[in-house]
Structure 1
Amino acid sequence: MKLFTFLTIAIAFASAKSGTKIGLRTFHRPNPRIINGDDAAKGQFPYQISYQWGILGLHEHVCGGSILSPTFILTAGHCVTEVPSQGEHRIVAGITELNEQNNERQEIQVVEKIVHPDFNGGVGPNDIALLKLATPLEFGDLVQPVVLPEAGSEPTGDSVLTGWGSTSTTIIPSLPNHLQTATVPILSYDDCKKAVDALLDENQEDPLSEVSNVCTAPLSKGESACLGDSGGPLAQNGTIVGIVSWGFVPCSYPEAPSVYTKVSNFVDFIKEHVHDL
């Protein structure tokens, strides 16, 4: 098994049970869709966006993200540091399918990327970033902001994962358009750490952080985040509790948790930069 950030263009990885150090495999294009999820209904998750990168007008989905305000998107730090700075960066809001055309579809360029100052890239803590948009989003039935959690709160219970992340338990590409959703239980930190430590080589540094991370476990169908879900939301009743950060590949391995950035510990960082909440 390998430890990955769940990104499509550039994948930071460390080999579980092999001692391989964290590194980059650039321009690998795995299939983006959540493992064993269900099709989302139109307008069910109006805060979900697709973060896209492209050249010469040709764009592809590389990460997910959540609408915070008319001009700011919340995503993972590695969705900024591991995606080429050259090229065109945009978000697409108001869609359920990536190629969907509707009256609320909005494509807006990203003009500024704010990565948490303590994020060191790849797989690790403080994996959070903000994307500032060139023009404000217009809110409507299909475009709405997510709710921030109370600072310092600890999420428990079931949560809802959404994204265009991989459905494959291998690295063979499969590229569906439809937004997926899965309900997954939040793990305690102790249970998550035990699971991660069991999958890592004994000489490999554990990237899990109690302060920075929250985890979910796959259920009977193996529901989990996967490649292409990076930066997307883990939510409870419209409140974002996690940002898809990293996990193990093959995805949906029975003992492997999905790991997210714990949003409640970064509320001050968000409010410092986002002034139109």
Structure 2
Amino acid sequence: MKKTLCVAATMMFLGCGERVDSKLNSDLKPVHADEPGLLNPVTERVINGSIPKDGSYESVALLLSEANVSVAGGPASRRQLSICTATLISPSAILSAAHCVNELILKTAIERATGPDGKPLNAKIIGSIEFRVAFVRNLAELAANPASLLAVSRVDEHEDFALTKNPWAAFQKNPGKWHDVAIVHLAKPATGRRIQKLATAEQVNAEVSNASLGRQFAGYGLSDESNPQSAGTLMEGTAHLGEVGTNEFIAGADDAQVACHGDSGGPIYMDGTEDLQIGIASRINKKIGLGDIWDGITGNVKAPSCEVGLVYTRVDTYLDWIKKHVTDME
């Protein structure tokens, strides 16, 4: 049942874009655009977003996963699995969403990957999943300079992340308590880059009182939800806050610009600037129902539209947890 819930809940998540190197996986495609999988060389970006000006979002990073994957029992080869967004919060650590680094979610999606004919590929991850980080504006820049990929030494996923600790949280009304937060530690410090500052509870509580103010957000996600090829570039947008809870808040419902699949782990900021990050993109604002569980059992899972808005993890709620895991944080 836990894995079935994972299949259904995976549809809610925003993370997981497309892979970088088509030479390895040109014959594979995802089951759904919001799942990590064995994919073609595209990602996803902000719907109706715009390209940021030079010098902006210097702390925003591309988070990639990779592993050895066997298809139909064949020999395993190295594959790029998924893409998320993250922010540099210290010279040695980036902040992202727990589901971006959760092995159960990644492995479940890989096992459900299909080929061009829609038939299961019977793909399986062999060994461990590894993560890489890049501070690039688009995938073309990364392809031109593969040395810009930074190695990761370890990942700290929140111990109470819902799909690991309490999968039934998926049935609760949003905003909830999914604890969808993770720290990715770099093997070597990232030098010469802006460090993202995180908002405190006092700052966030003051911010949410002004619902009319648009909040900036950024990510590498879909620019056209109907076109999984609309991908690969860091984009920005503006969203308005909706309901606010103690651990999460909703933003972007009915806005023209909205974060979507591939933007998971990405930031949303306070006061219309990128000075202070108030949230981490988590999932589409849709509560899982019994029909979703049945679809997870039958394999007929469909990704919901991002137009209903997104659920963001409040960074202020997890500041103590973050500081506990990031010793060089200012």
TM superposition score category, shorter chain reference = 0.7 to 0.9
Aligned length: 235
Q: Deviations over 1:193-214 (max 9, x none)?
A: xxxxxxxxxxxxxxxxx22111
Output aligned runs, 1:127-142, within 5 Å: 127-139=180-192
Residues 224 and 251 in structure 1, CA contact (< 8 A), matched pair in contact too? no
Return the index of the structure with the highest Cα Rg.
2
Alignment CA distance shift 1:70-1:25 (3 Å)? closer
Query: Under a length normalisation based on structure 2, what TM-score does the superposition of the two structures give?
Result: 0.64
Q: 2: distance between equivalents of 1:218 and 1:276?
A: 36
1:265, distance to aligned residue in structure 2 (A)? 0.6
Alignment CA distance shift 1:112-1:220 (3 Å)? closer
1:73, distance to aligned residue in structure 2 (A)? 0.5
Q: 2: distance between equivalents of 1:266 and 1:245?
A: 14
- Choose from 117, 135, 139 the match for 1:98: 139
Q: 2: distance between equivalents of 1:214 and 1:57?
A: 37
Q: 2: distance between equivalents of 1:147 and 1:178?
A: 23
1:64, distance to aligned residue in structure 2 (A)? 0.4
Q: 1: distance between equivalents of 2:320 and 2:87?
A: 17
Query: More deviation in 242-251 or 39-48?
Result: 242-251
Q: 1: distance between equivalents of 2:132 and 2:263?
A: 16
Query: Secondary structure, in 3 states, of the residue corresponding to 2:240?
Result: strand
Alignment CA distance shift 1:257-1:134 (3 Å)? same
Q: Counterpart in 2 of 1:257? A: 309
Q: 1: distance between equivalents of 2:81 and 2:36?
A: 15
1:158, distance to aligned residue in structure 2 (A)? 2.2
Q: 2: distance between equivalents of 1:52 and 1:71?
A: 17
- Choose from 141, 165, 169 the match for 2:221: 165
Q: Counterpart in 2 of 1:226? A: 260
- Please tell me whether residue 118 in structure 1 is matched to residue 160 in structure 2: yes
Give identity over the alignment, percent. 24
Q: Counterpart in 1 of 2:21? A: none
Q: Counterpart in 2 of 1:37? A: 49
Corresponding letter in the other structure for 1:262: R
Residues 15 and 35 in structure 2, CA contact (< 8 A), matched pair in contact too? no
Output aligned runs, 1:165-204, within 5 Å: 165-170=221-226, 172-189=227-244
Q: Deviations over 1:62-91 (max 9, x none)?
A: 100000001111000101113357243110
Q: Counterpart in 2 of 1:200? A: none
Residues 16 and 35 in structure 2, CA contact (< 8 A), matched pair in contact too? no
Alignment CA distance shift 1:51-1:26 (3 Å)? closer
Corresponding letter in the other structure for 2:37: F
Q: Counterpart in 1 of 2:248? A: 213
> Gapped runs of 5+ residues in structure 2?
1-8, 19-33, 68-76, 108-126, 171-176, 286-302
- Choose from 54, 79, 94 the match for 1:73: 94
Q: 2: distance between equivalents of 1:228 and 1:115?
A: 19
Q: Counterpart in 2 of 1:49? A: 61
Residues 35 and 251 in structure 1, CA contact (< 8 A), matched pair in contact too? no
Q: Deviations over 1:79-107 (max 9, x none)?
A: 111335724311002x211221689x842
Q: 2: distance between equivalents of 1:145 and 1:5?
A: 26
More strand by percentage: 1
